[in-house]
Structure 1
Amino acid sequence: MTRKFINICILSSLTGLFSCGQSTTRVTFSFTTPDTLNNMVLIPAGTYGMGADDNTGVADEYPKHNVKVDSFYIDEHEVTNAEFALFVSQTGYVTTAEKPISKEELMRGLPPGSPEPDSSMLAAGALVFTPPNHAVPFNDVSQWWSFVPGASWRHPEGPDSDIKGRENHPVTQVSYEDAVAFAKWANKRLPTEAEWEYASRGGLKNQLYPWGTEALTAGKPKANTWNGNFPYKNTATDGFTGTAPVKSYAPNGYGLYDMSGNVWEWVHDLYNSNYYGKDGELSVNPTGPAEAFDPEDPGQIKHVIRGGSYMCSDEYCRGYRVSARMKTTPESGLANLGFRCARSLK
């Protein structure tokens, strides 16, 4: 399958994401432009312990293992709406969320014997955060996610919204294919999961967060996360209820912004829950497993996403830890999912 299936997604109670479909679509453009909107930071080569630093991690964050990465460049902040708009204006690119899907394509992604979908499931659109006004069970993410026809990177909350005034916010509602297409246009690539975590740690060793071990809520706000009671009450103690402009919080030791919170970020690697357990004593420049596997959703190809978002809190998700791993399918576009790019030295 090569099209999106986000409007018939399978809910994942662990990640709070919708999981859907499979795709092998890749886009290559014959030209690039100099990057003028997002400085890249040179990350020194090194070896570090990849994985959970204490006993509060999820099972797929263990075992902690040694990884060596060569020096590479990475964007100092998440790709913004302004950057993505430049890409679209110069290429005419149409994102996954902006493409409707045919009934035949959708049926190929459903289990045999499934009823035919109604027309509302075939519309172009994306998943929007629609919080309730009361407490709800954490194991039912449909309580705060809704498929909205017309939602896309241009209209993150639906057709009545836009990105005016949010040019410097991270772009959202972009699929894995969209992120890869942008990266190729910019003569970059997506970072590997190992590179991403190494960069996120900012030179610190065995620390929970990009800034160290100090609690997220201690002192001055350190990241754009959920404050209050998820998902129905956000006190906005950190200054924001949704996405924040990039570079709104202090950078880590490598000068990188928003490696914790704001929006989840696509990385290159396929997701396999058993991947860490298969690593040897020292893994050198790992690029992920050869095959994807999610025991909660077997049969679906998924990629890793990193960093947490404005929807993460201590009571739900805790994705802002440097070792936290989440996953979703390549077609997924979400209101709290974006990306940043990397570049090899070669």
Structure 2
Amino acid sequence: MNRLNFLKSLSPALAAAFLLSSCGGDSSNTTGWAYNDSDNGGFSVNTDYEGQETGPGLVFVEGGTFTMGRVEQDVYQDWDNIPRQVSVQSFYIDENEITNTDYREYLYWIRRVFDIDYYPEILTTALPDTLVWRDELSYNEMYVENYFRHPAYNFYPVVGVSWIQAMKYCSWRTDRVNENILIEQGIFNEFPDQSDADHFNTEVYLYKSGEYTQQNKAGLEDHNPNSPFGDEGRPVRIEDGILLPKYRLPTEAEWEYAAYGNIGSRVYNRVTDANKFTWNGSASRNPEADQRGDMLANFKRGRGDYMGTGGWLNDQAATTMQVKFYPPNDYGLYDMAGNVAEWVMDVYRPLTLEDVRGLNPYRGNEFKTWDKDYQGLGALEVLQEPQRDGDSNIVALPGELPRRDVTEEENLNRRNYKKADYRDHIDGDKQSSIYYDAETEEGEPLMYDYATTTLVGNTTRVFKGGSWKDNAYWLSPGTRRFLEEDQSTDFIGFRCAMDRVGFQNLDPDREKRHKKPKRDKFKRYNYN
């Protein structure tokens, strides 16, 4: 009996078990040599891996196909969100927007670890701009003085944070989460004495672990008979599946997909997701009679109407509101409509949806590699001073690994990419301009000459969703706006995302139906 007929003869459960056992087990299906056996060379394989853990603050979003783009009239006539069917793979995204308390924890760590007198710019470039609350014809000094630090606003979404600052926060969060995982696993000592370059960084630990000893307590069992780590055990590797992938901003496609929360709206392979707002996917958002008619998001109802009338404040907020105050969408995500708009990773182009790929669409790739010759070091070394770009902006902190753009010379034999910067690929670069002469390699860009012919350039980023300051039109996930990556406002915040590795669903039995969060009765979340 051949393999195919044998599998057909088994029950579905037994067939699945057989397939899994043939792919794993305690010995190699290729050579027959035992895994994790020092007598057989010591090749290590995590045969007990049970799948990716959900990182702190994250919610799993099962990926799929959906129609991205406009779902209502384009009243501004921008024509920048033409509907297109795309797919996103499964990912994780924060349950709620990053709060003032979350961001203050980040700033506290910077003060604790770095010599701020010697590196003042590390702190100053991370501080949110509290002056975004000021207005020429509105009195908002209370927010300027209190919003970021007063305990009354502890769990309100942080604002005044640029796209660049949000990305750096995500990098910091990656390291702190993975550091805590190693502490909980007993591999690291708790509360280490870290300073300047001597702090935990995930990449340094993974790729230069032999030099990272500040927190080492006990390593994993090393099956290599010639191990250089001795009896103390070896450091954790990617192959162990213990450390999590990096936190990052969601892509525009991921954010829009998660905002719709279209669980249960798919009919076989026919995707029916023409929702206008994030709560359309639920048949009954507020099932209790005394909650019917309550506002489902924090936004501006009309000119001058930010919160309703005295005695009946319809959304309970003049500006922002604490996170988790309004009901979540069907993925269990809060404030995907209203409260604050949110940064996403993408570079803005009006015709992005006509250009990007159908799977994991994204514009903004800048391919980099580690810089082994940074400042003449001649080898990959941990930074002792901040690394700056040509504009003197800090791109890497002490204790991290230096990076540089990939070069065309080192990618001559590649077909999938050739250069480092693809932010303007096909849309606005010289090669796509009608004024570009391929023979002489001369010419000027036709479009996106920033600050000369347009306000759109390679440093212009997308932000999604409506805010407390916006009318209902912007609450639709299909709308999109843009701002320079180094700018910030009083109505833009952010939340983090993370890649899903391996299986695209959570159920180990490969359950295909994603269950909705159970909500017997909606109750406003209260931090107090």
Q: Would you say same fold, with TM above 0.5?
A: yes
State the match for 1:283 in structure 2: 358
Question: Alpha carbons of 1:127 and 1:296: their partners in 2 closer, same or farther (altered >3 Å)?
Answer: farther
Matched, 1:128 2:133: yes
Work out whether residues 263 and 310 of structure 1, in 8 Å CA contact, stay in contact via their aligned partners in 2. yes
- How far apart are 1:159 and its partner, in Å? 3.8
- How far apart are 1:287 and its partner, in Å? 1.8
Work out whether residues 264 and 338 of structure 1, in 8 Å CA contact, stay in contact via their aligned partners in 2. yes
Q: 2:67 aligns with which of 40, 49, 56?
A: 49
CA distance in 2, matches of 1:199, 1:74: 8
The one-letter code of the counterpart of 1:263 is: V
The one-letter code of the counterpart of 1:167 is: N
Query: Matched residues, percent identical?
Result: 30
Question: Alpha carbons of 1:129 and 1:189: their partners in 2 closer, same or farther (altered >3 Å)?
Answer: same
State the match for 1:328 in structure 2: 483
- How far apart are 1:98 and its partner, in Å? 4.7
Question: Alpha carbons of 1:234 and 1:303: their partners in 2 closer, same or farther (altered >3 Å)?
Answer: farther
- How far apart are 1:46 and its partner, in Å? 0.2
Matched, 1:220 2:280: no
CA distance in 1, matches of 2:339, 2:146: 22
Work out whether residues 466 and 474 of structure 2, in 8 Å CA contact, stay in contact via their aligned partners in 1. yes
Question: Alpha carbons of 1:185 and 1:42: their partners in 2 closer, same or farther (altered >3 Å)?
Answer: same
State the match for 2:161 in structure 1: 174
User: TM-score, length-normalised on structure 2?
Assistant: 0.45
State the match for 1:119 in structure 2: none
SS at match of 2:102: helix
| Mapping 1:160-199, distance limit 5 Å | 162-187=149-174, 188-199=247-258
State the match for 1:68 in structure 2: 87
Gaps of at least 5 residues in structure 1 are: 1-33, 100-123, 131-141, 149-155
State the match for 1:312 in structure 2: 470
SS at match of 1:91: helix
| Mapping 1:260-279, distance limit 5 Å | 260-279=337-356
Deviations 1:222-251 (A, max 9, x none): 101113424788644211011101001110
State the match for 2:231 in structure 1: none
Root-mean-square deviation (CA), in Å?
Answer: 3.2
State the match for 2:217 in structure 1: none
CA distance in 2, matches of 1:143, 1:234: 21
CA distance in 1, matches of 2:274, 2:134: 33
CA distance in 2, matches of 1:190, 1:77: 13
The one-letter code of the counterpart of 1:225 is: F
- How far apart are 1:91 and its partner, in Å? 2.1
Matched, 1:157 2:234: no
Question: Alpha carbons of 1:198 and 1:88: their partners in 2 closer, same or farther (altered >3 Å)?
Answer: same
CA distance in 2, matches of 1:287, 1:144: 38
Deviations 1:236-282 (A, max 9, x none): 42110111010011100100000000001110001111212334xx6
The one-letter code of the counterpart of 1:126 is: L
Question: Alpha carbons of 1:44 and 1:127: their partners in 2 closer, same or farther (altered >3 Å)?
Answer: same
Work out whether residues 96 and 331 of structure 1, in 8 Å CA contact, stay in contact via their aligned partners in 2. no
- How far apart are 1:56 and its partner, in Å? 3.9
SS at match of 1:172: coil
Structure with the bigger percentage of strand: 1
Deviations 1:282-318 (A, max 9, x none): 611112252285875245731000111001114xxx2
Question: Alpha carbons of 1:234 and 1:63: their partners in 2 closer, same or farther (altered >3 Å)?
Answer: same
SS at match of 1:229: coil
State the match for 2:103 in structure 1: 84
CA distance in 2, matches of 1:206, 1:39: 29
Count of residue correspondences: 262
- How far apart are 1:94 and its partner, in Å? 2.6
Question: Alpha carbons of 1:60 and 1:50: their partners in 2 closer, same or farther (altered >3 Å)?
Answer: same
SS at match of 1:94: helix
Q: Highest CA radius of gyration, 1 or 2?
A: 2
- How far apart are 1:129 and its partner, in Å? 5.2
